[in-house]
Copies of this chain bind each other. A is one copy, B any other.
Amino acid sequence: MALGTDYARQDCSLARALEVVGERWSMLIIRDAFYGVRRFNDFLVHLGIPRAVLTGRLRSLVAAGVLRKEPYQQSPPRQGYVLTEAGRELWLPVHALARWGGAHLTEGGPRMLFAHASCGTRLDPAGACPRCGAFVPPEDVTVREGPGADPALRRDPVSRALAGPHRLLTPIEPATE
């Protein structure tokens, strides 16, 4: 990790969190894991990230207890990456940050919309359902493209699956191998 030794002097839970998820790309890998991406090649194509960088980030996230390896195929044996329990608890900051970006930084509105699967209501910025009144765990959230999405920009199989609605943490089926 390249966060610098000065970083370690920060006596702060936020700094500790940033050591794990603040590295470039790490948060987007975690986002993809919420989307249901499991396979190395699907992360590679969807993120457009150099292979060596992806390998390093996945290894760091496994070492930090955010992701764990899990078989997705018996023959030949293949392992993918899924969020651990601690990793799933990153849903709240990931959603809050995406929501902020959608509100302040994207032209034409948010690019992805997150809704409560059971009632279809868009989540509020704190990840709760305004209709049901309760926090919605990620497995009960659906994602679909929002008004700011540019379908021409992303044509890879993961992006197509995410045009949605797609339920978070539901595996995205093989497309790139």
Q: What is the interface of chain A, defined by CB distance below 8 A to chain B?
A: 3-4, 6-7, 9-22, 24, 27-28, 31, 47-49, 65, 86, 89-90, 92-94, 96-106, 110-112, 125-128, 135, 146, 148-150, 153-154, 159
Contacts and interface: CB of A to CB of B under 8 A. Distances in A.
15 contacts: A7-B24, A12-B98, A12-B111, A13-B98, A13-B105, A13-B111, A14-B27, A14-B31, A18-B28, A19-B105, A89-B103, A92-B100, A92-B126, A93-B100, A126-B127
A31 B89 CA distance: 20
B110 A13 contact: yes
Contacts of A104: 17, 65, 86, 89
A100 B90 contact: yes
